[in-house]
Structure 1
Amino acid sequence: MKTLDKQIGAPMNRVDGHQKVTGAAKYSAEYELPGMSYGVLVGSTIAKGRIAHIDTKAAVGAPGVLAVITHLNSPQVPGFKPTGKDPSQPQTVGGPLKIFHDDKVRFNDQPIALVVADTFERARYAARLVMAHYTQETHQTNMAAGAKDAFLPTSAQKNPKSPMADYQRGQADAYKTAALKIEQEYVIPTEMHHPMEMQAITAHWEAPDRLTIYDKTQGTIGTRRDFAKEWNLPEANVQVIATFVGGAFGNALHSWPHESAAIIGAKVVGRPVKLMLTREQMFTQVGYRPYTWQKVGMSATADGKITAITHESIGQTSTYEEFTESTLAQTRMMYQSPNLTTRYRIAALDVGTPIWMRGPGEATGAFALESAMDEMAYLLKLDPLEFRLRNYTDQDPEKNRPWSTKFLKECYRAGAERIGWTKRKLEPGALRDGDWLVGYGMGVGTFGAHRGAAHVSAQLLPNGTVVLQCATTDIGPGTGTAMTQIAADTLGLPPEKIRFELGNSGFPQSGSQGGSSTVNTVGQAVQDACMALKDKLRELAAAGAPAFASAKKEDVALANGYLTLGSNAATRVPYADLLKQPGAALVNVESKPTGNDGQLYSMYSFSVHFAEVRVHALTGEVRVSKLVSCADAGTIINQKTAANQMKGGAVGGIGMALMEHAIIDDRYGRYVTKDFADYHVPVHADAPAVEVYFVNQPDLHVNALGTKGIGEIATIGVAPAIANAIFNATGKRVRELPITPDKLV
């Protein structure tokens, strides 16, 4: 029997690539149902106050309009009452926005009405006829002013051990009394989620107590749970379908008002309702990376050993919902420091609720920490890489545990060699290429190697295809492809004989796709399900071929219509004989972390990004001419899609460093940057060819596959690498992103 090439690690093309490039893939706004109607939201024009009067008469009378829904006529939603903490949501006080529930306006462009019509064009026209009058109140959308009232998150007030609570190791603020120290402030502005596919939902009440939604979501199970709770339905009566998701950076991890609006609309008109946000509404209604102020104080000895770090942060949230993120997590564990202090606060503003954005708080915190590391190295007249090596941690200083694995030094070496680090000069401005100043910088990233529980079913079909099902989604990293490879590798089948079905809450349960945990979690469940399938087949085969009874499951293979033994290919049983009983070759497996490895080890992925930049001496134009991203992410399932993730994260980091900045007009509490003409994201001309290196060493404490996760570390550390390179090129230290030419001339 021919031995199949190993699938894990191979640079396999995406299994859904052909569907996507030919238009066969169907996204949430592309489903067509009988009797379809279309919803368009009307947003408030003030940031704070109450709706004194809303005139919908003209809209109601417009052609094709089926309903105009406001707080005055919306049906009562059972779940719109005070509730406790919902694990699927960010930490809440008051909870997510209850749409059409009262007359209160909490942020500019808050949905205040939904127009439903028989065509999209008619709905859009009628929405413009809705007129609202307000009793306006004084709003606060300015972070600098709001930061004065920043407070400790409620979760930390209730639990001193919360990750959001103040943390101290050794002496508090010990850097202040040191001779060699820095103290600087860093700012990251609001950044917006703008995937290719805008947020959309098609809601259909198939019966008064049965709801189906085709939704852009990163978690079908969490979304099902949210709306089952909202409408007081059994979870089994809510079906969420998200077979294809056109990109998401965390914005689809929350259940948003537009989803509730579409479901309400479908209930009112008795027809399916399709609702897709506009690009402008993507700025206001589905979260963002919060504006964050940080201050880092750091001290060190003359020979480059850090003696103290204090890292403080204030991030913005909304007035109706507390959003928190792990801005200070990397500081507590990345470098050796006997004295370390972190303080995290949030400021409630009259804006919509933020949400995690790729790399989340760790990417925000890394900009401040890694910039400060560069500043301290320059003060000490040390190479920044050497400074990091002198403060390298061989175990987690926060938890006082060994790392499960850590190959960051290998990343340092590989990245430095590939970027040409030896060309870097200690003094800024020393390298020049004509009118261009050349500089080199680096930034380190880390993110937890998380693993949760997931269920996967596996079934062998008579034609020899194995079908696996899981409710997980694929927001772009190639999840379906990776799962196909894991299954093919485990079963000894070619990938063409594997079909991985996902994106349906009716499939076996899994968590949301986020936090770099999908391959760690679902991948392990796929492997476990395939092993269980082989074991079941072996048991079925044992009745006709006793040699299978004593065979190890690792020796069992599926090939060419037969179950065979790898040690003796002549011992085989046709699939047809095994499948005579209905469901005979079907297994449903739950995979979850076992043992206490999570308590014995600190489990993280690590990355380091090296940047070469060119800054025009006269205009201040910045070009990232080379970027090398190196990752310690455990076993790499697919070299091609993994590299895709790293490159995409690097491009996101370029946007964070050089161009992304949502500007709000505080007079009105409304964003001025509300389209791609004004809100700039990287294009091809902004992105160099990113070189990617993987250590590719398994971490068997995380799971049997040895994976650790890639998605977040692809972005974390990129922005400070670029900022540090710009300093090395120009001698100008910019601590408030983005670094635009006006800040360099």
Structure 2
Amino acid sequence: MKEPNKQIGAGMNRVDGRLKVTGAATYSAEYQLPGMSYGVLVGSTIAKGRIKSIDTRAAERAPGVLAVISHVNSPKVPGFVPTGKDPSQPQTVGGRLKVFNDDKVRFNDQPIAVVVADTLERARFAARLVKAQYDQEKHETSMEVGVKQGFVPTQAKKNPKSGVADYVRGTADAYKTGAVKLESEYVIPTEVHHPMELQSITAHWEAPDRLTLYDKTQGTLATRRDFAKEWGLPEENVKVIATFVGGAFGNALHSWPHESAAIIAARIVNRPVKLVLTREQMTTMVGYRPHTWQKIGMSATRDGKITAITHEATGQTSSYEEFTESTVQQTRMMYTAPNVNTRYRIAALDVSTPIWMRGPGEATGAFALESAMDEMAHLLNIDPMEFRLRNYTDKDPEKNLPWSSKFLKECYQAGAERIGWNKRQLKPGSLRDGEWLIGYGMGVGTFGAHRGSSKANVRLLPNGTVLLQSAVTDIGPGTGTAMTQIAADTLGLSPDKIRFEWGNSQFAQAPTQGGSAIVNTVGPAVQEACLALKEKLRTMAGASNGAFAAAKTQDVVFADGYLTLNGNPTARATYADLLRQTDNGFVTVESKPDGEHNKNYSMYSYSVHFAEVRVNPLTGEVRVSKLVSCADAGTIVNEKTAGNQMKGGAVGGIGMALMEAAVIDDRFGRYVTKDLAEYHVPVHADAPAVDVFFVNQPDPHVNALGTKGIGEIAIIGVAPAIANAVFNATGKRIRELPITPDKLI
């Protein structure tokens, strides 16, 4: 019998697409429980100081109010009690602010109280009645000041081999004696996540020692672990549900104070509490891409060989948590250069804690590195793509290891052809279409092909369908669809015979969705579980049928109501007969966790983005007229959803390059871009049709599927590609994002 067509690589529609477009998908704020109550946070109006007094009397007397909770009356949370193990950060737990634990204010809009009422409207009204008096202290929120006060992260001090520790290959600052050299500073402002779905949670104490959370999170198990520890509960007593997540770019990677506030409130009122942040609170309470200053020093020979690169960066963090990211990582390994050194610092300001945002660190660092590459190519009068090819690395210069696979040159070639790179002129401002100046630019991105530990449950049901379960979340890339395809491909079944369930902490172990590692990690677990199911069924059938006993696992074929063998269709074992051999009427197999990383290779995904822009020299308006994104990401499981990923990242890159900036009024330490009217993100009119190309060559060393990640490389390199295209169009080099008209006129 011939196996069904292969499913891996097919552009299959999303398995959850109909649920989402019809409104049948249930998000964390949409669960309705008996006795539901509603929480609304009250934020501080100062950036630093202490709460002198907090008047909640009017709020408590308001209609429908069940409780007003602040540091004055909050119950003691077990995990908030100081252990003495980390005296440097006593006000946090696992990096999280201990909400309502003391009277100290550390940033503007810090939660200082939560009002709980029987309706959302009543809770909102009462929240406006809470009044606080403060002993205000001098705050500092200016990154200009912060850069001067940057310090080495504790992580780097403890581990000199840490990715944020100083790095030297060859001679430090050797660029200063180079034949051709440049020294430029680059700035990326604070960028806020702003996914469609607001951060939300419904907390329900089902018993004094059993907690259920319907939460917007990227990791059900990480959230379970955090709050089990916070409340001194066994992990199995905390259940986290996150079946549908309406977009998350890293903002749901952390456990945040609003979640703790909802859990505290539910404890006090003894009812489920639903708490949804406002769009304004999304700016201050769930992280952001940190404001970052960078400096690149680079030298090269006159024939275009890089001799040295120095990359310095200082990123913003809060006063109560040291947040770090991989801003300088790409510089260490992207291009061949005998002398490379990086220095990374953080600046503690009176703001809330940043968090990883799509392409964390690398997207920020690539803006500086890829802009500097374009600047050097211009100084040398060499085509920017040719300059990159002259400095192409055939092995990892940082780790001195071979690449597990690398098809970046193929990306260069495909992208150049698709964008029309041959039309690009070396001299800026040479191309014009009527009143518009035309420019072309490129930017390269890379991100580690990470693989963690994961399991998957797989079960054959009496009706012949296969049920898969994993604790993994799906924040939008199509994880459920990809896993369905992998299972269908492995089992030889049609995808409509596979049901994949996810987003529940009670399911099989899976990592948090982030770092472009989910298909690499959960995919092999699904594959292994399906192979184990086939082998178990073959063994069961072989107990009464010699043909199955002598067959191999790969010969097993699922048919309509029965099991058979490839090449021997007369061998049959019905599902009903097999399931009768079990105690409970179904067959279940769980894969083993496998997080082994092949240390003999350096593993990365790669991208290159090409941009064509039009710039109006009179108004300074920039339009991205064409964008081509090319990726070397191993085996592509679903070309349609992978293409969605690349296009979404490209649009995010347009926002990064041209629009996004969270502006803070340093006089008050308060953001003035607090909604989507003031904080600009791309709309349809700002985004051209993005042309996507995949090399689609399996990586033989990352995992058995040959996959590598896409989520991060989709945005890494887009912003510098646009900035470089603007320079090619106008001759004006913009080193501080976003590129707004006032910087070009």
The whole-number CA distance in structure 2 between the counterparts of 1:460 and 1:176 is 66
The whole-number CA distance in structure 1 between the counterparts of 2:559 and 2:505 is 32
2:256 aligns with 256
1:272 is aligned to 2:272 = yes
Superposed displacement of residue 92, structure 1 = 8.1
Superposed displacement of residue 582, structure 1 = 2.7
8 Å contact from structure 1 (residues 429, 728) kept in 2:
yes
In the TM superposition, structure 1's runs of 4+ consecutive aligned residues that sit over 4 Å from their partners are 83-86, 91-94
Superposed displacement of residue 586, structure 1 = 0.7
The whole-number CA distance in structure 2 between the counterparts of 1:404 and 1:626 is 32
Superposed displacement of residue 640, structure 1 = 0.1
Report the AA paired with residue 436 of structure 1: W
Q: What percent of counterpart residues are identical? A: 77
Report the AA paired with residue 362 of structure 1: E
Alignment CA distance shift 1:641-1:275 (3 Å): same
The whole-number CA distance in structure 2 between the counterparts of 1:220 and 1:242 is 7
Instruction: Summarize the alignment of residues 318-333 of structure 1 with structure 2, pairs less than 5 Å apart.
Output: 318-333=318-333
Unaligned runs of 5+ in 1: none
The whole-number CA distance in structure 1 between the counterparts of 2:692 and 2:677 is 31
1:496 aligns with 496
The whole-number CA distance in structure 2 between the counterparts of 1:54 and 1:159 is 43
Report the AA paired with residue 588 of structure 1: E
Deviations 1:1-32 (A, max 9, x none): 45412100000000000000001000000000
2:163 aligns with 163
Superposed displacement of residue 69, structure 1 = 0.1
Instruction: Summarize the alignment of residues 626-645 of structure 1 with structure 2, pairs less than 5 Å apart.
Output: 626-645=626-645
Deviations 1:303-347 (A, max 9, x none): 000000000000000000010000000000000000011000000
Report the AA paired with residue 566 of structure 1: N
Instruction: Summarize the alignment of residues 573-588 of structure 1 with structure 2, pairs less than 5 Å apart.
Output: 573-580=573-580, 581-583=582-584, 585-588=587-590
1:690 aligns with 690
The whole-number CA distance in structure 2 between the counterparts of 1:141 and 1:20 is 40
Deviations 1:661-680 (A, max 9, x none): 00000000000000111100
The whole-number CA distance in structure 2 between the counterparts of 1:390 and 1:635 is 28
SS at match of 2:187: strand
1:592 aligns with 594
Deviations 1:461-515 (A, max 9, x none): 0101100000000000000000000000000000000000000000011110000
1:114 is aligned to 2:114 = yes
Deviations 1:141-173 (A, max 9, x none): 000112221100000011111111000000110
Instruction: Summarize the alignment of residues 139-288 of structure 1 with structure 2, pairs less than 5 Å apart.
Output: 139-288=139-288
Instruction: Summarize the alignment of residues 60-71 of structure 1 with structure 2, pairs less than 5 Å apart.
Output: 60-71=60-71
The whole-number CA distance in structure 1 between the counterparts of 2:702 and 2:92 is 30
1:391 aligns with 391
RMSD: 1.3
Report the AA paired with residue 582 of structure 1: D
The whole-number CA distance in structure 2 between the counterparts of 1:695 and 1:541 is 41
SS at match of 2:456: strand
Deviations 1:526-551 (A, max 9, x none): 00000000000000000121111121
Deviations 1:686-728 (A, max 9, x none): 0000000000000121000000110000000000000000000
Superposed displacement of residue 284, structure 1 = 0.4
8 Å contact from structure 2 (residues 80, 93) kept in 1:
no
2:741 aligns with 741
Superposed displacement of residue 81, structure 1 = 2.8
8 Å contact from structure 1 (residues 198, 282) kept in 2:
yes
Instruction: Summarize the alignment of residues 292-691 of structure 1 with structure 2, pairs less than 5 Å apart.
Output: 292-580=292-580, 581-583=582-584, 585-594=587-596, 598-691=598-691
Deviations 1:78-136 (A, max 9, x none): 001346999xx9x9898310000000000000000000000000000000000000000
Report the AA paired with residue 347 of structure 2: A
Report the AA paired with residue 587 of structure 1: V
8 Å contact from structure 1 (residues 93, 322) kept in 2:
no
8 Å contact from structure 1 (residues 454, 521) kept in 2:
yes
8 Å contact from structure 2 (residues 442, 608) kept in 1:
yes
SS at match of 2:252: coil
Superposed displacement of residue 590, structure 1 = 1.9
1:714 is aligned to 2:682 = no
The whole-number CA distance in structure 1 between the counterparts of 2:629 and 2:487 is 29
Report the AA paired with residue 615 of structure 2: V
8 Å contact from structure 1 (residues 49, 137) kept in 2:
yes
Report the AA paired with residue 471 of structure 1: A
Alignment CA distance shift 1:513-1:497 (3 Å): same
Superposed displacement of residue 731, structure 1 = 0.3
SS at match of 2:719: helix
SS at match of 2:592: strand
SS at match of 2:452: coil
The whole-number CA distance in structure 2 between the counterparts of 1:64 and 1:593 is 51
Superposed displacement of residue 55, structure 1 = 0.2
Superposed displacement of residue 264, structure 1 = 0.2
Deviations 1:221-271 (A, max 9, x none): 000000000000000000000010000000000000000000000000000
SS at match of 1:225: helix
Unaligned runs of 5+ in 2: none
Report the AA paired with residue 398 of structure 1: E
2:29 aligns with 29
Alignment CA distance shift 1:250-1:428 (3 Å): same
SS at match of 2:78: coil
The whole-number CA distance in structure 1 between the counterparts of 2:651 and 2:610 is 13
Report the AA paired with residue 736 of structure 1: E
SS at match of 1:591: coil
Name the TM-score, length of structure 2 as normaliser.
Answer: 0.98
The whole-number CA distance in structure 1 between the counterparts of 2:507 and 2:535 is 22
The whole-number CA distance in structure 2 between the counterparts of 1:744 and 1:195 is 30
Superposed displacement of residue 567, structure 1 = 1.6
The whole-number CA distance in structure 2 between the counterparts of 1:83 and 1:728 is 57
The whole-number CA distance in structure 2 between the counterparts of 1:429 and 1:626 is 18
8 Å contact from structure 1 (residues 93, 321) kept in 2:
no
The whole-number CA distance in structure 2 between the counterparts of 1:664 and 1:287 is 15
Deviations 1:266-322 (A, max 9, x none): 000000000000000000000000000000000000100000000000000000001
The whole-number CA distance in structure 1 between the counterparts of 2:93 and 2:657 is 32
Superposed displacement of residue 443, structure 1 = 0.1
The whole-number CA distance in structure 2 between the counterparts of 1:329 and 1:480 is 31
Deviations 1:592-636 (A, max 9, x none): 134xx6311000000000000000121110000000000000000
The whole-number CA distance in structure 1 between the counterparts of 2:674 and 2:262 is 23
SS at match of 1:360: coil
Superposed displacement of residue 591, structure 1 = 3.4
Deviations 1:40-66 (A, max 9, x none): 000000000000000000000000000
Instruction: Summarize the alignment of residues 19-58 of structure 1 with structure 2, pairs less than 5 Å apart.
Output: 19-58=19-58
The whole-number CA distance in structure 2 between the counterparts of 1:446 and 1:20 is 32
Deviations 1:166-217 (A, max 9, x none): 0000011000112310000000000001111000000000000000000000
The whole-number CA distance in structure 1 between the counterparts of 2:649 and 2:16 is 21
The whole-number CA distance in structure 1 between the counterparts of 2:94 and 2:153 is 13
8 Å contact from structure 1 (residues 92, 322) kept in 2:
no
SS at match of 2:227: helix
SS at match of 1:213: strand
Report the AA paired with residue 413 of structure 1: Q
8 Å contact from structure 1 (residues 528, 591) kept in 2:
no
